[in-house]
Amino acid sequence: MSVDASPSTVSQPTNLEAVARNGSRFRRMAVRIPTYLADVRENPAWLPMFMLARTMPGRRLHWALSAKYKPSQGQQDSMFGPLDASAVADALSSDGIFTGLQMPARIQQEIGNFARTVPCFGNFDRSLEFVAPRHREAEARFDRSLLSGHFFERSMRSPGVRAIQADPLLIDIARRYLGAGARLITTRIWWSFPTSGASEADRSLASLDKFHFDLDDWRMLKFFFNLVDVDEGTGPHVFVKGSHNRRKARHQYTLLVGHPADDVLDYYGADQAVTLTGPAGSGFVEDPFGFHMGTVPVTKPRLMMEVGFGVSRPSRRRFYGEPVLRK
């Protein structure tokens, strides 16, 4: 089976400079400083990771010292069919991304129905609670733009969400790529909404409209699934192929993870930036150390699911992206 056959449409994004507005780089960091400080208090080992995992020498050393995965002979049945996990891992090593995942329609429909009926939290704020079909009413009620709607721990109430995160193919791919120590660290579903007047802080917190790389662990792998049909107007994900395994010095030796679009595309190649669109249920997996971004929907809401694997224990204090919670 060809590993690059995909139900998703992969195309070069248009006018990325206009989409990836530069803004203030340091404002993006300022939003996250309280979270960083709490991460260090919870787990002091987070600090060397945060400082060294952004550099290619630091990453390669940590990778070389990790335990290698020895696959078992038998392969368990997966809802995603007979994909070759080894071939997927090879594609990830080369490009940083693999497209070609397709969840069963019944799973996609169950999660979609769940996300339309269970209240979510706007802009990562638990005081801004609403159901997605009433997004516009919620903006009027709270008198503010609502760019995103996250479910945090509520995501795990969905049987479909639980089934996907436990699928043996995902775990096998993660261990083949990350090593024997790969572990599940985050599972989430969330809405991105068309809206006007969203602040730069809200866009930064939601990781939208800015090329960046993730630095939550030494090594990570993230599976993404479209839970609605995604086209150019639905806020598709953008990934720069190959940017996971080479890195400009200016992009390593800095505390910033976000960089202007022209800086990223001039170095890694505008032809390597792909926009990931596709029907409901289609999915892809990427190494989030590669440069990527979400874009703001302009025509209709986007509903996505993410299953993330890493090599360090996850935070027990908060859910992915959530501001620091007081005990």
- Which has more pLDDT, 125 or 15? 125
- Cα separation, 177 vs 189, whole angstroms: 24
Dig out the tokens for 211 from the structure: 């090329």
**326 within some domain:** no
The β-bridge relationship of strands 148-150 and 183-192 is: antiparallel
* Alpha helices by DSSP H, the chain: 16-19, 25-42, 46-52, 56-64, 85-95, 105-117, 135-142, 159-165, 168-178, 200-205, 249-252, 261-268
Longest dimension (CA), the chain: 57
Dig out the tokens for 297 from the structure: 């929907």
Mean pLDDT throughout 246-261?
Answer: 90
Q: Which residues of 2-25 are buried (b: 16+ CB within 10 A; e: fewer)?
A: ebeebebbbeebeebeebbeebeb
Residue 46 has pLDDT above 90, yes or no: no
pLDDT at residue 196, as a whole number: 81
CATH (domain of 89): 2.60.120.620
**82 within some domain:** yes
Measured at the alpha carbon of residue 306, what is the angle toward residues 144 and 243, in degrees to the nearest 5?
A: 100
Look up residue 210 and give its DSSP letter. Answer: S
How far apart are the two ends of the chain, measured CA to CA in Å? 50
Residue 236 has pLDDT above 50, yes or no: yes
**203 within some domain:** yes
304: Cβ contacts below 8 Å, ≥ 6 apart: 189, 190, 192, 224, 225, 226, 227, 237
- Cα separation, 308 vs 103, whole angstroms: 16
DSSP codes joined into one string, 109-137: HHHHHHHHHS-EEETT-TTSEE-GGGHHH
Q: How confident is the model at residue 313 (pLDDT cuts 50, 70, 90)?
A: confident
The tens digit of pLDDT for each residue in 67-95 reads: 999 887 767 889 999 899 999 999 999 99
pLDDT at residue 256, as a whole number: 85
pLDDT at residue 42, as a whole number: 80
Q: Which residues of 138-151 are buried (b: 16+ CB within 10 A; e: fewer)?
A: bbeebebebbbbbb
Mean pLDDT throughout 124-138?
Answer: 96
pLDDT at residue 23, as a whole number: 44
Residue pair 225/219 in contact by the 8 Å Cβ criterion: no
pLDDT at residue 147, as a whole number: 92
| Type of residue numbered 228 | V
Q: Which of 47-56, 243-252, 307-316 has the weakest average pLDDT?
A: 307-316
Q: How confident is the model at residue 258 (pLDDT cuts 50, 70, 90)?
A: confident
**320 within some domain:** no
Mean pLDDT throughout 106-131?
Answer: 96
Dig out the tokens for 220 from the structure: 């990570």
pLDDT at residue 22, as a whole number: 41
**86 within some domain:** yes
Mean pLDDT throughout 218-247?
Answer: 96
Count of domains for the chain: 1
Q: How far is CA 317 from the centre of its chain?
A: 20
**142 within some domain:** yes
pLDDT at residue 199, as a whole number: 64
Four-residue CA torsion sign, 201, 205, 211, 214: positive
pLDDT at residue 242, as a whole number: 96
**322 within some domain:** no
- Cα separation, 192 vs 224, whole angstroms: 14
SS3 220: coil
pLDDT at residue 176, as a whole number: 96
pLDDT at residue 321, as a whole number: 55
Residue 53 has pLDDT above 60, yes or no: yes
Measured CA to CA in angstroms, residue 210 lies from 32, 131, 154 at distances of 15, 27, 28
Dig out the tokens for 113 from the structure: 């129905």
pLDDT at residue 45, as a whole number: 87
Residue that is written with structure tokens 């990527």 in the block: 292
**327 within some domain:** no
E strands of 180-247, at which residues?
Answer: 183-192, 221-226, 237-240
The tens digit of pLDDT for each residue in 148-175 reads: 999 999 999 999 999 999 999 999 999 9
Residue 27 has pLDDT above 90, yes or no: no
pLDDT at residue 209, as a whole number: 62
Q: What percent of the chain has pLDDT over 90?
A: 67
Average pLDDT, the chain: 86
Mean pLDDT throughout 266-279?
Answer: 95
The tens digit of pLDDT for each residue in 173-230 reads: 999 999 999 999 989 999 999 988 766 666 555 556 689 999 889 999 999 999 999 9
Domain that holds residue 269: 9-66+75-310
- Which has more pLDDT, 235 or 4? 235
